[in-house]
Chain A
Amino acid sequence: MENTARVGTLSRSFEIKKMNLLQLENVHKRFGDFTAVSDISFSIEKGSIYGLLGPNGAGKTTTLRMIMDIIAPDAGSITFSGNRQVQDFLDQIGYLPEERGLYRKMKVRDVILFIAELKGLYKQQALSEIEQWLEKMQLSEWENKRIDELSKGMAQKIQFITTVIHKPELIILDEPFSGLDPINMTLLKDLMLELREDGSTIIFSTHVMEQVEKLCDHICLIHQGKVLLEGELRAVKRGFGKNSVEIEYIGSLEPIRNSACIQGINDFGQYAEIKLKTPEDYRPFLQELVEKGVDVTRFELMEPTLHEIFVQSVEAHGGVVQDAE
């Protein structure tokens, strides 16, 4: 199944090659005896939102740091717009590190201005951008407050502004949703979509699958430094096949509870999510329902959720997934 997804991507990769903004080829990184990233290859299409998924410690942050040229890979190559010298393009990249933090004693405006200048913006230009962004984030009145007077959520918004203030072509967000409340999560999701509309390419890492489903065009699932799955989200899902069905029924499910096709049932009384052993099992299962006289009012084949794909892939490689937040 996993192979199907890969083949799917490979056949497409030829035609999209020219449009790749970022490409990693056989990237490898060791820290002492520990291999953090092993032979990772993927490419990111211009204008896409790319999800880098994996459990904690999978090598996501290391990969992103290598893209940012903060640490150098031991082997392999990273190309930006077909150019190997990524360090020449750092100003066209915006980076939000996993661990958040700003100068606590500085004023909001001064912090953003400092980072904007580091990214190559002139002061006047930066100031007008800052004004617009603060307004957009409804933080205008906080412009002259010190960072340590802000709430955590506000500080995170400020940090997001510092990441995108220079209108980068590529935006790298390391676990951008961690620690955000639902309102800010939605705000961030909308912002990401908006930035993509404006032509930016976004790569973000996460272990929360829900956002990935909503946002990503492409995903890359890494585990223990290796790529397990990579490709277009739809293709990946298709590759996994539909082995879940949702049914609505009247009466009881008892007659089919011990069916040979079923791997698990999540019964809600009038509605149940049923996991089949293989995608092909849905025909015999439907037949069984009819034969055993269950009064079914709806029968729908479901795509696997990314969460299921994630858990299955990792577990298939001997890993354990702590339930996502």
Chain B
Amino acid sequence: MPNKIVAVIKREYMTRVKSKGFIASLFLMPILMCGLVLLSSFLAIMEDKTEEIRKLAVIDETGEIFEQMRAAVAKHPTFQHKGELVYQLHEETTTTADEKTALQERVRTKELYAYLEIPKDVFASGKVLFYARTVTNSNVQNTFRRIISDIVRDKRFAESGYSQREVRQLMRSVGFNAYAVKSGKGKEGGAKVESAIETGARLGLGYLLVFVLYLFVIIYANSIMRSVLEEKTTRIVEVIISSIKPYQLLLGKLIGVCSVCLTMFAIWVIFGVLLVMNIKPLLGIFGIDSLPIQFIQVIGTIKASGTEILTYFFVYFIMGFFMYSTLYAVVGAICGSEEEAQQTGGPLTMLIIIPFILMFQLFRIPDSTLSVLLSHIPFFSPILMFMRINVLMPPLWEILLNILLMCATVLLVMLISGKIYRVGILMYGKRPTLAQLWQWMRY
């Protein structure tokens, strides 16, 4: 007797894997990911460079700073474009409120890029004021701050009788390098120190995987929702559940679609491994013989920690997938149209967006009580716990407890959802109220 769930799994799997969308994502996703990584690192180093001349007015109430400042600005690379100075400073001697309003007006009309106000008491405790149409350009502001600070500081030193050069020499800051101390692998055990590049590579891989997890859970949970909806609106579901139980249909769907994701990951992993193993001969084709040491270190780190991170990735992906997709399947079952389902599914999306947003803050405090507590909320675990594993490996018992907790949640969600699903797929017309859902659970 052939297994009927297998028939469902096969259908869900084959229709997706054979679709153009799958083939497209298979190739486009890595390209997109690489593009995103490159773009963000490019944006990070990109400065607010301009070819246009930017005029700045400076109100120097002290009368001592402006000239030195202009000289310093003229030399500073931040204010140059291709060797040409693009920031032009001129002094204004305005004092009245009306005149300042006029300056502001000139900034508004883009005649001036910005104007600075250096108060008389700047040597004591006064603050320099910077006015511009946008103040998000921290690089320009910081450079001005540093230049003015240097001038002010030099003046203070001179007045106290110190040599500027000596003081500068004495006050230079120390270098600072951060190293992550990890638990060693295998027999050696003990502590192992990671270089900054190794940490970067490991965290980078971790981030990438969290992002992939987030993206795929959202995309394929929605795909399940639409597939449930399709079966419901075409009424084919009546034929199906006259052959198998609704929970079997649901389970078959989840396993089928999950396998689609795992297939795609597997192809990427195999491709990635082949690429890493054959990196030298591959680069040889392009005539590159030697690799930069940093690059070799990155590859080495990925080789060393890749297996462990990927294992956790698969565990957390599968858990997250089942948890969210089951809920989305229920949304599909209780709704009558795609628009209705998108609306109803909205709040569910928050369940996965919230941990994703929290992650960006919590990774700075991976072992704080808050991080630990939040990472054990089952709906947040796939992202937050996986983040913790990447940043600072929690104790094994905590991971096992977490996995256990998630398994229990998945089972509970499937049990409850299965009941609503069973009734929902046969109900047409109005979307049920919460009270009705409660009733369905007890049918």
Contact = CB atoms under 8 A, between A and B. Distances in A.
Interface of A: 65, 68-71, 90-91, 93, 95-97, 99-106, 110, 114-115, 117-123, 162-163
Given A91-B243, A93-B242, A120 B1 contact: yes
B344 interface: no
B244 A118 contact: yes
A118 B239 CA distance: 9
Given A101-B236, A120-B2, A70 B242 contact: yes
Interface in B192-243: 230-231, 233-236, 238-243
Given A95-B239, A114-B7, 4 more contacts: A68-B242, A105-B15, A114-B10, A118-B8
Contacts of B14: 110
A228 to B, nearest CB: 27
Interface string B1-40: 1101001101100110000000000000000000000000
B426 interface: yes
A115 B239 contact: yes
A69 B242 contact: yes
Contact of A90 (B230, B234, B236, B242): B242
Q: DSSP majority for the B interface?
A: helix
Contacts of A118: 4, 7-8, 240, 243-244
Nearest to B240: A118
Contacts of B1: 120
A97 B2 contact: no
Contacts of B236: 101-103
Contact of A119 (B241, B243, B426): B243
Contacts of B10: 114, 117
Contacts of B4: 117-118, 120
Contacts of A114: 7, 10-11
Contacts of B241: 70
B440 to A, nearest CB: 12
A30 to B, nearest CB: 12
Q: What are the 7 closest A-B residue pairs judged by CB atoms, nearest first?
A: A101-B234, A117-B7, A99-B235, A118-B243, A97-B238, A68-B242, A101-B235
A101 B233 contact: yes
A122 B240 CA distance: 17
Interface string B231-263: 101111011111110000000000000000000
Contacts of A103: 15, 230-231, 234, 236
Contacts of B2: 117, 120-123
Contact of B426 (A70, A95, A117, A123): A70
Given A114-B11, A121-B2, A100 B242 contact: no
A2 B76 CA distance: 107
A93 B241 CA distance: 12
Contacts of B231: 103
B270 to A, nearest CB: 28
A90 B238 contact: no
B252 to A, nearest CB: 10
A119 B239 CA distance: 10
B235 A100 contact: yes
Nearest to B243: A118
Nearest to B4: A118
B239 A162 contact: yes
A97 B426 contact: no
A101 B231 CA distance: 8
Contacts of A96: 239
Contact of B15 (A71, A106, A122, A163): A106
B7 A95 contact: no
Most B C-beta atoms less than 10 A away, residue of A68, A96, A100, A114? A114
A31 to B, nearest CB: 10
A96 B234 CA distance: 13
Contacts of A95: 238-239, 242
Nearest to A159: B239
Nearest to B244: A118
A106 to B, nearest CB: 6
A97 B241 CA distance: 11
A120 B2 CA distance: 6
Nearest to A147: B234
Contacts of B235: 97, 99-101
Interface string B421-436: 0000010000000000
Nearest to A166: B243
Interface string B125-141: 00000000000000000
Contacts of A93: 242
Most B C-beta atoms less than 10 A away, residue of A70, A114, A118, A162? A118
Nearest to A104: B234
A85 to B, nearest CB: 14
Contact of B239 (A69, A97, A121, A122): A97
A137 to B, nearest CB: 18
A218 B235 CA distance: 29
A133 B189 CA distance: 67
Contacts of B239: 95-97, 115, 162-163
A99 B238 contact: yes
A285 B8 CA distance: 67
7 contacts: A68-B238, A90-B242, A99-B238, A103-B15, A106-B11, A118-B7, A120-B4
A115 B239 CA distance: 8
